[in-house]
């Protein structure tokens, strides 16, 4: 490899220069100090090394942070996604009363019931868009993890956002609770920031199977 002239190239260029083979690329990448990088972040995660080792103590000092905050220009009202309201909705439901979480044509699913309840809270622009497409007035509930038919959920997390400013957490709670009494219940509704994603895929699930002996 030492005697070869290796340069960056475009695939449209003529093949007049020597290029790395797969083996040479592997050898080059393997020679990088990746293990040191992995060890460092592993130590930070396991609290064996402070984050200041990466950023420096000056960056994390309280006075330095306050000085940076004071130097920032006054915030201005933002539009688009920053102007919307995002709600974290935690629901509990009886699995035997539904055909699972995910919406499916002709089936009674939790998602269809929840989204139908959220329809009254969508903004005018989305309402008009649904009307133009001939679709029912429903909200969009983004869920952290689906459940199958017959599976009961105690704390199922989903999120809903709207650009309407008059929507309150209690309004959402009342709408969902009245959709399927005794089968579907709201545990909590929390308003969050516009850039918060409550419905990221969950890292773990706890499943309890109950078997009855005759």
Determine the average pLDDT of the residues in 68-78. Answer: 52
Stretch 38-66: mean pLDDT: 62
Q: Which residue has the tokens 């974290």?
A: 88
Residues 114 and 40 in one domain: no
Confidence grade of residue 186 (pLDDT, cut at 50, 70, 90): very high
User: In terms of residue numbers, what domain contains 90?
Assistant: 80-192
Nearest CA among 181, 165, 76, 68 for reference residue 123: 165
**Count of domains forming the chain:** 2
Angle value at C-alpha 58, between 52 and 59, nearest 5 degrees: 70
Same domain, 104 and 175: yes
Q: What gap in Å lies between CA 138 and CA 179, rounded to an integer?
A: 13
Question: Taking residues 140-150, what's their average pLDDT?
Answer: 87
Residue 11 tokens read as: 């695939």
CA atoms within 13 A on the CB side of 41: 4
Residue 165 belongs to a domain: yes
- Residue 97 CA to residue 99 CA, distance in Å, equals 7
pLDDT for residue 167:
92
Check whether 9 has a pLDDT greater than 60.
no
Instruction: For residues 102 and 59, state if they share a domain.
Output: no
Cα angle 191-199-166, degrees, rounded to a multiple of 5: 25
Q: What is the pLDDT of residue 75?
A: 47
- Is pLDDT larger for residue 30 or for residue 119? 119
Weakest-pLDDT range from 14-18, 26-30, 108-112, 169-173? 14-18
């Amino acid at each position: 490899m030492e005697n070869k002239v290796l340069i960056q190239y475009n695939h449209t260029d003529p093949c007049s220069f020597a290029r790395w083979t797969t083996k040479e690329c592997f050898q080059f990448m393997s020679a990088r100090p990746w293990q040191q990088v992995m060890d460092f972040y592993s130590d930070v995660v396991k609290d064996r090394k402070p984050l200041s080792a990466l950023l420096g103590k000056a960056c994390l000092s309280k006075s330095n942070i306050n000085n940076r905050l004071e130097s920032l220009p006054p915030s201005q009202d933002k539009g688009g996604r920053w102007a919307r309201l995002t709600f974290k909705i935690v629901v509990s439901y009886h699995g035997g009363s539904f055909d699972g979480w995910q919406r499916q044509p002709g089936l009674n699913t939790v998602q269809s019931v929840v989204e139908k309840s959220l329809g009254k809270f969508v903004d005018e622009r989305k309402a008009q868009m649904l009307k133009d497409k001939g679709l029912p007035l429903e909200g969009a509930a983004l869920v952290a993890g689906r459940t199958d038919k017959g599976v009961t959920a105690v704390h199922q997390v989903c999120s809903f956002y709207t650009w309407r400013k008059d929507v309150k957490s209690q309004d959402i709670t009342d709408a969902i609770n009245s959709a399927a009494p005794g089968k579907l219940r709201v545990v909590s509704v929390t308003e969050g920031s516009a850039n918060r994603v409550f419905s990221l895929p969950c890292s773990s699930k706890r499943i309890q199977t109950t078997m009855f002996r005759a």
